[in-house]
A and B are shown apart, each in its own frame.
Chain A
Amino acid sequence: MAALEEEFTLSAVPLGAGPDGLLGVEQCDKTDQFLITDGGRTVILYKVSDQKPLGSWSVKQGQVITCPAVCNFQTGEYIVVHDSKVLRLWTNEDVNLDKVFKATLSAEVYRILSIPGTEPLVLFKEGAVRGLEALLAEPQQKIETVISDEEVIKWTKFFMVFRHPALIFITEKHGNYFAYVQKFNSSVVSKYTLLLGQEEKSVIQSFTASLCRKFISLMSLSSDGCIYETLIPIHPSDPEKNQHQRVVRSLLLKTVVSGNARNALSVLDQDHVAVLGPSLPASKECLSIWNTKFQTLQISKELPQGTSGQLWYYGEHLFMLHGKILTVIPYKCEMSSLAGALGKLKHGQDPGTQTMPHFVNWETSQGLGSQNAEPSKRILRRRKIEASVQPEVPGSQQLLSTIKKDSEKHIEMELRKFLAIKRTPDFHTVIGDIVIGLLGRCKTEPSFYPRNSLMQLIQMHVLSYSLCPGLMEVALEKTDVQMLQLCLQQFPDIPEAVTCACLKMFLSIGDDSLQETDVNMESVSDYSDAVQEEQMEEQTGILQNGFNPEEDNCDNCDKELSEKPQNTIEETTSCPVIPKRAALLNAVLHSAYSETFLLPHLKDIPAQHITLFLQYLYFLYLKCSENATMTLPGMHPPTLNQIMDWICLLLDANFTVVVMIPEAKSLLLSLYKFVKSQICICSELNKIEVSFRELQKLNQEKNNRELYSIEVLELF
């Protein structure tokens, strides 16, 4: 649960902050120390836990700091820019900023960016980026212009992506926003354009960004008071064809602040953002923490003296100007529970609005260096419309509407097109929605059964039972064993009742109808060949495992069994089911289950099917014991443990029934003998273990007798 702790101020004396507030708060190489650059001429180094300044540096009268001071984490030096072009480097020991290292650059600097683990970068106002070292080596080098004439950089952030630095900056020109992402391992610059869509009149007030696997999640706070999220890929899949990439801006939180004042936004962690600005009903300035996952207000704190609309977040501290005083609010977020997250829901929102994402298109343009190629807003909008009607990239919504009315063939085609495009992070939920859409139509239209589409979707390896609850029921209804087999193989979370229903069907379905189906046979190897040979092998194999019914002399059932020993053996050595059925049963054997939930359902299976399944399992067991590793041949065969567990389960569930059936008698007898022999083996093994231990003890005692001896030792 997110919590704001008691605030404290960093200095009692108001900073010389101008109307625009501070220039910046930046991290230092030592934890707990921060560099604060005010709007005028001063840089102050604070130790936050002690609430006191450790050092303060000012530029000369007449000079103005134009870019917040940062720390070079590799050298521990501080860097500041004054008068847009003059770079100063100094350390803790330096007293006077006039006497420290100075470099005058040829272009105006927008910002210096520094994060731990890499060298600082200098971002020029014209959009060019240089490493600090390279720049210091040749300060007067020519700086190229990257952005167009009237474009102004609004915001920037520097990340480490898998140990490689990456920079994002946002520019604005005539109310249009552009995002540039530059990676330094490949020095590729990608440019994206933001279309404001419906919210045409809104102005973006604040940006924040965080890394989210392969995307930069860019959040923006618009003047309509809503927070939007945009996923920008870090690695464009196809750098040459940038224009085909689509990034989507979606509404994340609706109307968190009233839009007129200066508001600020900062992302805290995966699920939390901090928003600074006047809250809606009271229109008093306050700092609020929102949970984006649950769309709830976690905590809010009023700031009656007003703020400068700036917010910084480092480690566990939020920095802001409260009145004229720099205030630090420690922030903590512990594990949030659903109940905790729902506890403070502030707005009674109607359920429809928040889940429906508002799509805004960020469309990529040609890339860098072609300023005149930059399309105007109108052209882009047209293009957007074109994009949405382009048949080869249907959105999931469109596909869903297609599903509602079109023919099976057409759906199949559309689906193939849809699956061919790049996967988004919420791919599996989209697939789930599509399946549910298909099933919905199946229910209303009994003749509609888009088997191929469903099979294709299942084979995407992203579905689970809970994502498409009706699918297996429909397949059961249609006795589509092939789909059921696929589901059993793919889904990790099938309820035991459904597993059991599948088993029931697999056992009851006629051989003739089975022969017509196309079942995946890879778990079944050729069991039925060379019965004669098997008989020999089987005998030796069973002996290996200690199972030998002929030698079991203390058994009173032995006589009955010996009446027709040949018969039983033959019964067990040829596979009792046809290979296709075996493949289906193997799929059941492989599925996950919990005994407690499975047992009641197993009781519902008719007795002759139970016997058949038991015979099949016993047959598998005999095949297993043919080789020393106790495995079955073939790809993904059932393991010995699975076989044994199912035998036990079946017997547990249906023991009274099975005992009563005459056909099962011989099977039960052989199982009984087998268990008995296993117990024998275990007790023999235990005996051997104890004997070995006694031998070891004797051996030790023999050694121990030599308590004292005189030996000769030569050292070499």
Chain B
Amino acid sequence: MGEFKVHRVRFFNYVPSGIRCVAYNNQSNRLAVSRTDGTVEIYNLSANYFQEKFFPGHESRATEALCWAKGQRLFSAGLNGEIIEYDLQALNIKYSMDAFGGPIWSMAASPSGSQLLIGCEDGSVKLFQINPDKIQFERNFDRQKSRILSLSWHPSGTHIAAGSIDYISVFDVNSGSTIHKMLVDRQYMGVSKRKCIIWGVAFLSDGTVISVDSAGKVQFWDSATGTLVKTHLVANADVQSIAVSDQEDSFVVGTAEGTVFHFQLVSVTSNSSEKQWVRTKPFQHHTHDVRTVAHSPTALISGGTDTHLVIRPLMEKVEVKNYDAALRKITFPHRRLISCSKKRQLLLFQFSHHLDLWRLGSTVATGKHGDTLPLSKDADHLLHLKTKGPENIICSCVSPCGSWIAYSTASRFFLCRLNYDRVHPKVSKMPAFLRSAVQILFSEDSTKLFVASNQGSLHIIRLLEGSFKHLHTFQAQSGTVESMCLLAVSPDGNWLAASGTSAGVHVYNVKRLKLHCTVPAYNFPVTALAIAPKTNNLVIAHSDQQIFEYSIPDKQYTEWSRTIQKQGFHYLWLQRDTPITHISFHPKRPMHILLHDAYMFCIIDKSLPLPNDKTLLYNPLPPTNESDVIRRRTAHAFKISKRYKPLLFMDLLDERTLVAVERPLDDIIAQLPPPIKKKKFGT
């Protein structure tokens, strides 16, 4: 199949931000996740948990609360005191509004979805009306002594419960007055703590209020009488989050020890109608604080400081064994953070507030499979480019020639020219001409720059020595404002493919500056796109692990694509749980397609027969003693290597050289704050 020299890169010290909030939307089966740097990500749970959208973070915008309202509208609130609504089509912030109550700690949408409630630092609970275009302040509830850390609506919308420090208040929504104040015991294992923080409350339709607090208690209160009904001591540390299922027959809490407990309402005896809450299952999928949990109809979802998003299906609710039945742990973003200049052997790493440019080393030695070659030159750190302002970088790209770097934040687009005359390259900034970009791509010869803006339009810019010229803008299809998240250009520079999150892939003719064709829309979002050299076949990977090959000149799927669709992919291929994030091609071997996800990379040789479910998909060992005949008979199109993982990026530098960027999980854990130490022995 081929022997490659692989540059194994592990110095991309990317650390994902911790997860602060998750919000599950039952209608669209989507999950919104906010991180401590203010980033908000949208996962489509129906599309194999693909992260289909994201909103870049902002230094001053620490999100403390996230919720869906009015069906598909997403709101967040944070410590800067602002409520933000996100535009899920254009992928930007629709508006932000100051609530004038100091930092906001909690937010909850009313059961009908028409009202929004926020809890502020100054102890005020504010009610907002959600109008079609904006939200409008309606009124304040009775001011409390200290900050409101958690809020929950009664399902009928008439009452709310608010968790503060040392007590829980129950408000009447109509009058806005406090009906009950339920004092929480500060005692913790017999020791009186200074304060007891109510991290989460949940109001059930029968009037029960469930609270979780910093003393490790899960408590049930009767809101009609304001009395404590039951206490479960679940942890030695804080219980930080709670989420109740829609049927109110089960709920989940997350603790600072990384444990998630499942509580269920079960009958006291096998056939009696009397039911009680019982702690049924503990899960330990996290090492650090579980800051937030959600309860979808079939799964428990949790996230926290250890940056993993964990989706744990409830086996009793899962009917068929498919994607939904497996435990998911999502750690890395489903988009590329790395770009590569093949000519100069450069790697550009994107972090939230800076870019790093590295030059790869070299070796003169040769070796056989598995050898590590001595380096004649080590990798160089060429450039550390810091962004101005508090906004996170959305996307970045280095040109194939290595002399241009482009990146964008939510409000500005930056283009830099690099001169390599001296030891360190000199950066000259270009004047700003665009507001912001969702995706950036250079043409193969580095003369053109393609920018997908967040209003659905695509800009083409010609790059000259030290200057640039705006050539053309493809406007979005009429009526859509969906942003194009993925771009691919053909190596000859004639074709440009662009894909959004839901509609099909559009192919533009760059010479004639018009839309050439649209690949039919598929049920699952596109995760990677690339156009093959010479043949101009567009290869599309979808989140359900299907791969299509579409001939741009013929405007139809290729014969190979039809064959593989007819035969179906190997079951193990379809059971992978990370999406393909990058596709590339071998310059000399047109039959090869290189692609990778986080746990494997694969070269598909289209000339070989396709594997069926009986053949071994992944063969880690070289076929040693077998004769050539057997070898030829067992060979199939998918050549897979699982040697590098977690794999964030892989590309072909030249015919015989690959570059693989790994980010070992241990390195990430080493950079996190230490978890709560639990004694294993003794008491």
Q: Which residues of A come within 8 Å of B, CB atoms?
A: 213, 270-271, 334-336, 679, 681-683, 685-686, 689, 700, 703-704, 706-716
Q: With A335-B274, A708-B361 in contact, do A713 and B682 touch (Cβ < 8 Å)?
A: no
Contact check, A704 vs B7: say whether CB atoms are below 8 A apart.
Answer: no
Which partner residue on chain A sits nearest B205 by CB separation? A334
Bound-state CA distance A336–B272 (Å) is 12
Q: Would you list which residues of chain B between 339 and 379 have a CB under 8 Å from chain A?
A: 361-363, 366-373, 375, 378-379
Beyond A712-B5, A716-B622: 20 further Cβ-contacts under 8 Å?
A: A335-B206, A681-B681, A703-B664, A707-B9, A708-B7, A708-B9, A708-B378, A709-B373, A710-B8, A710-B363, A710-B372, A711-B8, A711-B371, A712-B367, A712-B368, A712-B370, A713-B641, A715-B2, A716-B1, A716-B621
Shortest beta-carbon distance from A632 to chain B in Å: 24
Bound-state CA distance A716–B603 (Å) is 10
Per DSSP, chain B at the interface is loop
What residues of B have a CB within 8 angstroms of the CB of A704 in the complex? Answer: 10, 664, 666-667, 670
Shortest beta-carbon distance from B94 to chain A in Å: 35
Select A715's contact among B372, B603, B666, beta carbons within 8 Å: B603
Contact check, A271 vs B8: say whether CB atoms are below 8 A apart.
Answer: no
Contact check, A710 vs B679: say whether CB atoms are below 8 A apart.
Answer: no
Q: Would you list which residues of chain B between 1 and 52 have a CB under 8 Å from chain A?
A: 1-11
Is B639 interfacial (CB-CB < 8 Å)?
yes
Bound-state CA distance A213–B1 (Å) is 66
Q: With A335-B273, A710-B363, A712-B368 in contact, do A679 and B8 touch (Cβ < 8 Å)?
A: no
What residues of A have a CB within 8 angstroms of the CB of B422 in the complex? Answer: none
What residues of B have a CB within 8 angstroms of the CB of A708 in the complex? Answer: 7-11, 361, 375, 378-379
Contact check, A711 vs B679: say whether CB atoms are below 8 A apart.
Answer: no
Q: With A335-B274, A708-B9, A708-B378 in contact, do A713 and B206 touch (Cβ < 8 Å)?
A: no
Bound-state CA distance A668–B682 (Å) is 21
Which partner residue on chain B sits nearest A678 by CB separation? B682
Bound-state CA distance A707–B11 (Å) is 5
Contact check, A716 vs B639: say whether CB atoms are below 8 A apart.
Answer: yes
Select A689's contact among B2, B623, B680, beta carbons within 8 Å: B680
Which partner residue on chain A sits nearest B603 by CB separation? A715
What residues of A have a CB within 8 angstroms of the CB of B622 in the complex? Answer: 714, 716
Which partner residue on chain A sits nearest B275 by CB separation? A335
Bitwise, B620-633 to A at CB < 8 A (1) or not (0) is: 01110000000000
Bound-state CA distance A713–B594 (Å) is 15
Is B317 interfacial (CB-CB < 8 Å)?
no
Shortest beta-carbon distance from A9 to chain B in Å: 26
Q: With A685-B681, A686-B679 in contact, do A700 and B670 touch (Cβ < 8 Å)?
A: yes
Shortest beta-carbon distance from A406 to chain B in Å: 36
25 A-B residue pairings within 8 Å (CB atoms): A213-B271, A334-B206, A335-B273, A336-B273, A682-B681, A686-B682, A703-B666, A704-B666, A704-B667, A710-B5, A710-B6, A710-B7, A710-B8, A710-B363, A710-B373, A710-B375, A711-B6, A711-B373, A712-B6, A712-B371, A713-B4, A713-B6, A714-B2, A714-B4, A716-B622
Contact check, B1 vs A715: say whether CB atoms are below 8 A apart.
Answer: yes
Contact check, B3 vs A707: say whether CB atoms are below 8 A apart.
Answer: no
Bound-state CA distance A707–B358 (Å) is 13
Q: With A334-B206, A708-B379 in contact, do A715 and B641 touch (Cβ < 8 Å)?
A: yes
What residues of A have a CB within 8 angstroms of the CB of B619 in the complex? Answer: 716
Bound-state CA distance A334–B6 (Å) is 66
Bound-state CA distance A682–B683 (Å) is 9
What residues of B have a CB within 8 angstroms of the CB of A711 in the complex? Answer: 5-6, 8, 370-373
Which partner residue on chain B sits nearest A213 by CB separation? B271
Bound-state CA distance A589–B680 (Å) is 28
Contact check, A689 vs B681: say whether CB atoms are below 8 A apart.
Answer: yes
Closest A-B pairs by Cβ, 10 of them: A682-B682, A685-B681, A714-B369, A715-B1, A707-B11, A715-B639, A682-B681, A714-B3, A712-B367, A710-B373
What residues of B have a CB within 8 angstroms of the CB of A270 in the complex? Answer: 271, 273
Q: With A715-B2, A715-B603 in contact, do A686 and B680 touch (Cβ < 8 Å)?
A: yes
Q: With A682-B681, A708-B11, A709-B8 in contact, do A714 and B273 touch (Cβ < 8 Å)?
A: no
Q: How many residues of B contact A (CB 8 A)?
A: 47
What residues of A have a CB within 8 angstroms of the CB of B641 in the complex? Answer: 713, 715
Is B321 interfacial (CB-CB < 8 Å)?
no
Bound-state CA distance A604–B141 (Å) is 57
Which partner residue on chain A sits nearest B619 by CB separation? A716
What residues of B have a CB within 8 angstroms of the CB of A689 in the complex? Answer: 680-681
Max chain A C-beta neighbours (<10 A), residue from B7, B378, B681: B681
Select B373's contact among A213, A682, A683, A712, beta carbons within 8 Å: A712
Shortest beta-carbon distance from B141 to chain A in Å: 28
What residues of B have a CB within 8 angstroms of the CB of A706 in the complex? Answer: 10
What residues of A have a CB within 8 angstroms of the CB of B681 in the complex? Answer: 681-682, 685-686, 689
What residues of A have a CB within 8 angstroms of the CB of B680 in the complex? Answer: 685-686, 689
Contact check, B371 vs A714: say whether CB atoms are below 8 A apart.
Answer: no
What residues of A have a CB within 8 angstroms of the CB of B372 in the complex? Answer: 709-711
Bound-state CA distance A682–B680 (Å) is 9
Max chain B C-beta neighbours (<10 A), residue from A700, A708, A710: A710
Which partner residue on chain B sits nearest A689 by CB separation? B680
Which partner residue on chain B sits nearest A704 by CB separation? B667
Select A271's contact among B1, B2, B273, B666, beta carbons within 8 Å: B273
Which partner residue on chain A sits nearest B662 by CB separation? A707
Bitwise, B185-216 to A at CB < 8 A (1) or not (0) is: 00000000000000000000010000000000
Bound-state CA distance A700–B271 (Å) is 54
What residues of A have a CB within 8 angstroms of the CB of B623 in the complex? Answer: 716
What residues of A have a CB within 8 angstroms of the CB of B362 in the complex? Answer: 710
What residues of B have a CB within 8 angstroms of the CB of A703 in the complex? Answer: 664, 666
Is B588 interfacial (CB-CB < 8 Å)?
no
Bound-state CA distance A271–B271 (Å) is 12
Q: Would you list which residues of chain B between 592 and 646 have a CB under 8 Å from chain A?
A: 603, 619, 621-623, 639, 641, 643
Is B658 interfacial (CB-CB < 8 Å)?
yes
Shortest beta-carbon distance from B666 to chain A in Å: 5
What residues of B have a CB within 8 angstroms of the CB of A335 in the complex? Answer: 206, 273-275
Shortest beta-carbon distance from B411 to chain A in Å: 35
Shortest beta-carbon distance from A383 to chain B in Å: 35
Bound-state CA distance A381–B679 (Å) is 76
What residues of B have a CB within 8 angstroms of the CB of A681 in the complex? Answer: 681
What residues of A have a CB within 8 angstroms of the CB of B366 in the complex? Answer: 712
What residues of B have a CB within 8 angstroms of the CB of A213 in the complex? Answer: 271
Contact check, A713 vs B369: say whether CB atoms are below 8 A apart.
Answer: yes
Which partner residue on chain B sits nearest A690 by CB separation? B677
Shortest beta-carbon distance from B484 to chain A in Å: 33
Bound-state CA distance A683–B361 (Å) is 49
Contact check, A685 vs B682: say whether CB atoms are below 8 A apart.
Answer: yes
